[in-house]
Amino acid sequence: MIIKKLEVGPIMANCYVLGCEDTKEAVVIDPGDEADRILMTLSESNLKVKYIINTHGHFDHVGANKRMKEITGAELLIHADDEPMLKDLNKAAASFGLKSENSPPSDRNMAHGDELTFGNITLRVIHTPGHSRGGVCLYTEGALFSGDTLFAGSIGRTDLPGGDYDTLISSIKEKLLGVDEKTIVYPGHGPETSILQERRMNPFLR
């Protein structure tokens, strides 16, 4: 699997471009900003986008949805509980003194257990509420794309609307820590980690 990470926007959110080496089908996870840079990354690897996937609805992860959708025509996916956020991204960004463009509605709402296939690769959707009501992670063998649920040595903030600390901790412990400990975790901000590292060292999970 091709994995390209781009830190985008003023909050430096991680956007991931995933591609199947055999078929060149791809997905874009969390296009938060800098759509042209994401599109250039796709072009450089000769990838065609099948899905634009939002791990949650916060503006720093979905701000480039509109342009990405217009240019690629790919199917836009988000969990139903975070769908309402897409129409108010400008207001959410303004509360941080920033700007964002409202997103078109999703083409389809993801649910826990859904499987998203591109080329020879399948991502399993894991609903992990706590940072937001509709937060999801995406798992394929060896890799977990954790959005703002789990970070290296930390967890997502829970003080925004829809956040809940106890729910987030339960989501992580019950749904994420059970996957293979060698799995690399690709979070929504910051560096990669692993399930083993977070089991052993994350102070929020002891």
Domains, the chain, ordered by start: 2-205 (3.60.15.10)
Please tell me the predicted confidence (pLDDT) of residue 129: 98
Per the rule left: phi > 0, alpha: psi between -120 and 50, beta: everything else, 154 is beta
Residue 74 has pLDDT above 90, yes or no: yes
Confidence tier at 85 by pLDDT (50, 70, 90) = very high
Q: Do residues 61 and 13 lie in contact, with contact meaning Cβ atoms separated by under 8 Å?
A: yes
Tens digit of pLDDT for each residue in 119-176?
Answer: 999 999 999 999 999 999 999 999 999 999 999 999 999 999 999 999 999 999 999 9
Question: Could you give the CA distance from residue 139 to residue 144 in angstroms, rounded to a whole number?
Answer: 5
Nearest 5°: the CA angle 151, 166, 171 is: 55
Question: Could you give the CA distance from residue 115 to residue 153 in angstroms, rounded to a whole number?
Answer: 28
Please tell me the predicted confidence (pLDDT) of residue 82: 98
Average pLDDT over residues 104-118: 97
Residues whose CB is less than 8 angstroms from the CB of residue 205 and which lie 6 or more positions away in sequence, other chains included: 155, 169, 172, 173, 177, 198, 199
Please tell me the predicted confidence (pLDDT) of residue 163: 96
Helix, coil or strand: residue 96: coil
- With a pLDDT cut of 90, the percent of the chain lying above it is 99
pTM: 0.96
Q: Do residues 31 and 68 lie in contact, with contact meaning Cβ atoms separated by under 8 Å?
A: yes
Residue 206 has pLDDT above 90, yes or no: no
